[in-house]
């Protein structure tokens, strides 16, 4: 209590209100709004600094245009050696001036079934995206985890361009909601993601999906959850709500502007982030419970048997600086025996897939090339072994 700040008291009030009988469930969103406000205030200095530079630096417009024009070349170069060269001989999508969010209704036409329950909680729902006509063979599956600083886990509007693209490629996609802080303390977030994977392994064939091949992708906090899920298959510490024998392994991981370390406090930005985790998400002090933060860090969970990874990040990200993605990729390449791809988009900022039409199409195309290649490789190797 002696160290509590105004934000801590506000969070306590919103969590307490959510526990009230009868009306508590209607007040639960207040906790997320309060926590998101705290997150926004803590990142305000970076936003303000980036905005000032953008407004007053001479030649900024030309620099941004030059960076946007490098998107296709950067994506193609990043996939060389990861995807066969012949598969990269394509026409990359033309950049669009309008934000991808403006095409939300158009993208939603790919939704086959909405609000499917994957667990007992009302928050554990998912949308099924798929093409109107599925191939004769079961389709590969992509599970998408939305972002939101671990205090907002809604599938609405997030990942639409990617899900539309992958469904058009013949994939069955699952976009999930999950429980978030401050009303639900870590590790409930990852427990829900694991529950969604286990549900897909057991039920996705009802929608034409192949239960034997499931990839996972996520943005921002969802990128963290996707990476951690891929690196901790069947870990009982993150599967409290699942029965023994539930399969939570994945065959490939795509992290999009994700946060991959919960331990590092070496800079002002990272120290501020850990403080946010302590007060809002984990609700424990890292000095007293370092093992909780370490176990939640994908960086610390990398191992030789990690699944194939594709990491995508922008150099203009002021929320999660690109250095974090570079360090994570370096760690993966040093330890993992699987393929690791890294697409670094010049000038792209946080949440570019919702706001930046110049880069979103290229990102979705790169992910499709990577996942289709991993799927073909994974499904043909067992066939050769049988022959």
Which residue in 152, 350, 373, 375 is the catalytic one? 350
Whether 165 is catalytic: no
Closest by Cα among 268, 265, 264, 358 to 318? 268
Q: Following DSSP, what letter does each residue of 290-332 receive, concatenated?
A: HHHHHHT-HHHH--TTPPPEEEEEETT-SSS-HHHHHHHHHHH
Are 268 and 230 contacting, i.e. CB atoms less than 8 angstroms apart? no
Beta partners for residue 83, in sequence order? 80
Beta partners for residue 214, in sequence order? 141
Which residue in 317, 336, 356, 375 is the catalytic one? 317
Separation of CA 144 from chain center: 7
Whether 350 is catalytic: yes
CB burial string 325-347: b at 16+ within 10 A, e below? beebbebbeeebeebbbbbbbbb
- Please enumerate in sequence order all residues whose Cβ is within 8 A of that of 144, keeping only pairs 6 or more positions apart, or say none: 155, 158, 159, 162, 163, 173, 174, 175, 176, 216, 217, 218, 222
Which residue in 220, 229, 297, 336 is the catalytic one? 220
- Please enumerate in sequence order all residues whose Cβ is within 8 A of that of 195, keeping only pairs 6 or more positions apart, or say none: 118, 119, 124, 239, 241, 242
Whether 37 is catalytic: no
What residues are annotated to the active site? 220, 317, 350
């Amino acid at each position: 209590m002696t160290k509590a700040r105004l934000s801590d008291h506000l969070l306590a009030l919103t969590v307490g209100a959510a526990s009230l009988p009868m009306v508590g469930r209607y007040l639960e969103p207040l906790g997320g709004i309060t926590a998101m406000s705290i997150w926004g205030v803590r990142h305000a200095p970076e936003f303000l600094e980036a905005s000032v530079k953008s407004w007053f630096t001479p030649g900024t417009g030309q620099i941004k245009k030059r960076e946007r024009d490098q998107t296709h070349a950067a994506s193609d170069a990043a996939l060389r050696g990861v995807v066969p060269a012949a598969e990269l001989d394509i026409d990359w999508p033309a950049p669009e001036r309008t934000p991808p969010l403006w095409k939300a209704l158009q993208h939603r036409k790919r939704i086959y079934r909405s609000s499917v329950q994957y667990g007992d909680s009302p928050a554990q729902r998912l949308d099924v995206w798929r093409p109107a006509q599925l191939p004769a063979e079961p389709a590969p599956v992509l599970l998408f985890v939305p972002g939101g600083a671990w205090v907002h886990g809604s599938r609405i509007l997030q990942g639409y361009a990617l899900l539309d693209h992958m469904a058009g490629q013949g994939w069955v996609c699952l976009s999930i909601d999950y429980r978030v802080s401050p009303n639900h303390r870590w590790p409930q977030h990852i427990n829900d993601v694991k529950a969604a994977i286990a549900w897909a392994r057991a039920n996705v064939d009802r929608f034409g999906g192949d239960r034997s091949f499931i990839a996972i992708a996520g943005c921002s906090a969802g990128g963290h959850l996707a990476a951690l899920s891929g690196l901790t298959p069947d870990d009982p510490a993150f599967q409290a709500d699942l029965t023994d024998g539930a399969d939570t392994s994945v065959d490939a991981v795509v992290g999009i502007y994700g946060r991959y370390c919960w331990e590092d406090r070496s800079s002002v930005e990272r120290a501020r982030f850990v403080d946010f985790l302590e007060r809002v998400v984990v609700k424990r002090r890292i000095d007293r419970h370092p093992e909780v933060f370490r176990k939640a860090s994908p960086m610390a969970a990398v191992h030789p048997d990690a699944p194939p990874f594709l990491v995508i990040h922008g150099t203009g990200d002021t929320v999660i600086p690109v250095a974090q993605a570079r360090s994570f990729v370096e760690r993966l390449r040093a330890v993992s025996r699987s393929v690791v791809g890294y697409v670094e988009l010049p000038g792209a900022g946080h949440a570019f897939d919702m706001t930046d039409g110049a880069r979103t199409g290229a990102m979705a195309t790169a992910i499709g090339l990577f996942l289709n290649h991993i799927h073909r490789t994974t499904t043909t190797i067992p066939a050769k072994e049988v022959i």
